[in-house]
Structure 1
Amino acid sequence: MTDSPIARVPLSRPIIAGIVTALVGTTSSFAVVLTGLDAVGATPAQAASGLLVLCVTMGLGSIVLAWRYRMPITVAWSTPGAALLAATGSVDGGWPAAVGAFLVTAGLILLTALWPQLGRMIARIPPSIAQAMLAGILLPLCVAPVTGLVTDPWGVAPVLLTWLVCVRLAPRWAVPLAFLAAAVVVAVHVTVTGGSVAPADLIPRLEVTAPSISLGAIVGLALPLFLVTMASQNVPGVAVMRSYGYTVPWRPAMFVTGVGTALGAPAGGHAINLAAISAALAAAPDADPDPTRRWVAGVSTGATGIVLGGLSAALVALVVVAPAGVIPAVAGVALFAAFGSAVQQAIDDPGERLAAVVTFVVAASGVAVAGVSAAFWALVAGLVVRTVLHAGRR
């Protein structure tokens, strides 16, 4: 009797799948994370610390959940949340208030674990409204490659050309290779201008900040960050896993990501959550034909993420010496797919379209009222318009 095809697949296959998952996820969106942390007031050292602690906490979260439940569960940083930080900008109280908002977000995620009804309430927000808010948040970042191409064509054009060619030939690696092109541009720029990076700046280290709590930061940053993380990452992440035959344990997943967010917040980590898009890389049959062995890919993803955390300071140093426009261009192309998906879901239902448009316009305006960010007011405006339009209907 011959061995089945499943039995002949080496264990190295899911291990490699996990490594690819971590590499693609990290290199595709780290620029968004750094942009967001910088926008809310982090210094380069604090941003590097945030990137480091995010890599470590999401790596440990992936290992714990995948090992314990024998599923390819992967944890990622909240890329939509980082985009929200970039769109929100500085909050009342500066960086300490932003750190306080991260802790409040962690508390809300933990509350979701203790009180699942809260998660169900988030899931009841009309998808068109939630996705329109996300699209409005992402728009300014997605415009960055265009503005960068005008202000610095020689620096940004190689990034965009690399991305375009790879989208056609190797879509999975389009953004990572665009980042590689950006690194080459930065290296040439440093060589021509005679710049340099101190060796001490390449050593990863934690920068702990004492948090402060302000009402404006809670309402304008913590609540939108929680909503975006739940609606755009955790809920879709569960759906992606279900499509591959895995039922994610909701309470343990929220507990692990909530604790991870709480531990990482003082060091600058904004939020971790269940992976959504990148989850398919570890959970799909390509990782291993045997679904009972794909959990190895989850563990491998986590271990690789922790190792990549060692590059956090070097990545920040690269951003610091880069020409203006190059790194924002990488962040922009990294969000094109998410922006397109959000717009499509926002306007897909004609009956919800007008409320979604109002939500999108308010979120994209970037206008803060009473110290509260546009993302919050976008959600309020969209729900109000939707309520008026649907009044009296079943």
Structure 2
Amino acid sequence: MRVQAVMAGLVSAVVGYASSFTIVLAGLRAVGATPGQAASGLLALCCGIGAAALFLGLRYRMPISIAWSTPGAALLVATGPVPGGFPAAVGAFIVCAGLIVLAGLSPWPARAIAAIPRPIAGAMLAGVILSLCTAPVRAVVDIPLLAVPVVLTWAVLQRYLRQWAVPGALVVAVIAIAVQGPGNGLSSAALRPAVELTTPTLNPSVVVSIAIPLFLVTMAAQNVPGMAVMATYGYTPPLRPVLVATGLASAAAAPFGGHAVNLAAITAALTAGPDTHPDPGRRWIATVALGAGQLTLGLGAGLAMALVLLSPPVLVTAVAGLALLPALGSSLAGAVTEPEGREAAVVTFVVTASGMTILSIGAAFWGLIAGGLTALLLHRRPPLVQQSPSTAQTGAERTESRVAGMPADRPS
């Protein structure tokens, strides 16, 4: 049974890595990282994930899965080049890490995140990843011989082996790249793991356009759903120590190019579910295996970067877009499900997806502001009706009788 838990953790590590490392590399390159700096960032993230998973798993004996912020990497892609280049982006990564630690030390940042209406948060995330999710379509049009097999593989595996759909598509993409023939990618990136230290700089506009949205999407799209997934399997890990641990791991990874480490949302089910181990008290072994697996996978960061350099950019983005399609669907569903906040969510989505930049601040921040202002503008308070004592008493009696007739599990 222990072998079963170890295998579940290793599978979780491989699936999490293979399904989104292209997004991480694309995001770091978008904000100015060189190939060496991007590979260093990927390695630093793997080490941060491994260290946090090992510590939390052994400390709390729970399957607390850790991952990098995939929505955060998508945010970096949408943000693009920033004033001050990659050193300014690294400075924003450190600020984001500090905010995560602060959220663990003090209750008010988590309360502030919880105060953001769910439709607006979902719409912001959907707007951030929309451009990536359209990449498979562009790839099919631009390079059909390479992209069509990748998309078909993803579609078939999505039907029969959902958790392997993106890794399978990635394998087909690698084969397609190999058949196409090597370019100069191998000479442009070192295959052995290497770290590159980047001296951070603080640029106020970059802090606003990267650090704050990165903190928001990491909390709203990773940490909060990660806690929810664990709760469905009966686990309630202490959120504040988890935030402090992942925030410190993020801060340690940032100078080497890593953007954010956090709770896993999607792969959490692979380590916390009953298939991991029949005894819920032994499933933490999978988290320890996940941490060890991520440390091992980090050694291949240089090879991963070489693969990205060898392939057409649109093909790499297409694989990333396929990985983010489920996130886009759930974000859009959460954004428009509640009629009361639908208009504000649509405004948030449109502004964020526009990719506009004002005062060197990216669209994600402005989408959040626009959605919040729209929600305030359209908020309607129920009219105050003056009632006579007898009328008021009748209304209270009607309300009481109506509530009494409701089912016990239906909110009033």
- Please indicate the TM-score interval, normalised by the length of the shorter structure: over 0.9
Question: What pairs up with 1:285-364 in 2 under 5 angstroms?
Answer: 285-364=274-353
Tell me how far 1:199 sits from its aligned partner. 10
- DSSP-derived class of the 1:202 partner: coil
Tell me the TM-score normalized by structure 2.
0.91
Match of 2:227 among 225, 238, 252: 238
1:166 aligns with 2:157: yes
Contact in 1 for aligned 2:185/2:306 (Cα 8 Å) = no
Match of 1:43 in 2: 34
2:58 equivalent to 1:79: no
Deviation, 1:198, is 4.1
SS in 2 for 1:246: coil
Which residue of structure 1 aligns with residue 90 of structure 2? 99
In structure 2, the CA distance between the partners of 1:87 and 1:200, relative to structure 1 (3 Å rule), is closer
Which SS does the other structure have where 1:19 is aligned? helix
Q: Secondary structure at the match of 1:201?
A: coil
Q: Which amino acid aligns with 2:7?
A: I
User: 2:132 is matched with which residue: 105, 119, 141?
Assistant: 141
Report the AA paired with residue 164 of structure 2. Answer: W
1:122 to 109, 113, 131: 113
> What is residue 283 of structure 1 aligned with on the other side?
272
Write out per-residue CA displacement over residues 76-97 of structure 1, whole angstroms, 9 at most, x where no aligned residue. Answer: 0000000000000111111100
Q: Where in structure 1 do 4 or more consecutive aligned residues deviate above 6 Å?
A: none
Quote how far apart the aligned CAs of 1:323 are.
Answer: 2.3
How many residues matched? 383
- How far did 1:355 drift? 0.6
State the 1:324 CA deviation: 3.4
* Residue type at the aligned position of 1:165: V
Structure 2 vs 1, CA of residues 171 and 26 (structure 1 numbering), >3 Å: closer, same or farther? same
Counterparts of 1:22-61 in structure 2 under 5 Å?
A: 22-61=13-52
Task: Deviation per CA, 1:151-187: give whole Å up to 9, x if none.
Answer: 1111111110110111111111000000000100111
Secondary structure at the aligned position of 2:190 is classed as helix
Counterpart position of 2:166: 175
Contact 2:36/2:189, CA 8 A, preserved across alignment: no
For residues 79 and 298 of structure 2, the distance between their equivalents in structure 1, rounded to whole angstroms, comes to: 26
SS in 1 for 2:67: strand
CA distance in 1, matches of 2:267, 2:115: 24
The percent identity for this pair of structures is 53
Distance 1:99 1:387, change over 3 A: same
Q: Structure 2: which amino acid aligns with 1:305?
A: Q
- Report the secondary structure of 2:262's partner residue: strand
Q: Distance in 1 between matches of 2:164 and 2:171?
A: 10
1:325 is paired with a residue of what secondary structure? Answer: helix
Q: Residues 211, 200 of structure 1: CA spacing in aligned structure 2 closer, same or farther, 3 A cutoff?
A: closer
Contact 1:162 1:174 in 2 (8 A): yes
Determine if contact 2:189/2:305 at 8 Å carries over to the other structure. Answer: no
The Cα of 1:135 is off from its aligned counterpart by: 0.2
Deviations, residues 34-61 of structure 1 (Å, cap 9, x unaligned): 1111110001100000000000101110
Q: Give the letter for the 2:328 counterpart.
A: F
The answer to whether the Cα contact below 8 Å between 1:152 and 1:324 also exists between their aligned partners in 2 is no
Question: Could you tell me how far apart the structure 1 residues matched to 2:320 and 2:185 are?
Answer: 24
Letter in 2 for 1:392: R
Question: What amino acid is the match of 1:359?
Answer: T
Match of residue 372 from structure 1: 361
Letter in 2 for 1:258: G
Q: CA deviation at 1:393?
A: 4.6
Which position in structure 1 is the counterpart of 2:399? none
Residue deviations 1:20-44 (CA, integer Å, cap 9, x gap): 1101111001111111111100011
Going from structure 1 to structure 2, the CA distance change for 1:316 and 1:350 (only over 3 Å counts) comes to same
Aligned residue type for 1:325: V
**Matched residue of 2:299: which SS?**
helix
State how far apart, in whole Å, the 1-side matches of 2:193 and 2:382 are.
57
Cα distance in 1 between the residues matched to 2:77 and 2:261: 17
TM-score of the superposition, structure 1-length normalised? 0.95
Q: Tell me what 1:267 maps to.
A: 256
| Cα 1:93/1:161, change in 2 over 3 Å | same
**More moved, 18-27 vs 242-251:** 242-251
Amino acid at match of 2:203: S
What is residue 61 of structure 2 aligned with on the other side? Answer: 70
Change beyond 3 A, Cα 1:99–1:202:
same
Shift in CA distance, 391/214, structure 1 to aligned 2, threshold 3 Å:
farther
The whole-number CA distance in structure 2 between the counterparts of 1:373 and 1:61 is: 30
Tell me, in whole angstroms, the C-alpha distance in 1 between the residues paired with 2:141 and 2:322.
16
Distance in 2 (alpha carbons) for counterparts of 1:88 and 1:199: 25
Tell me by how many angstroms 1:392 deviates.
2.9
Q: Equivalent residue for 1:383? A: 372
Cα distance in structure 2, aligned partners of 1:345 and 1:391: 22
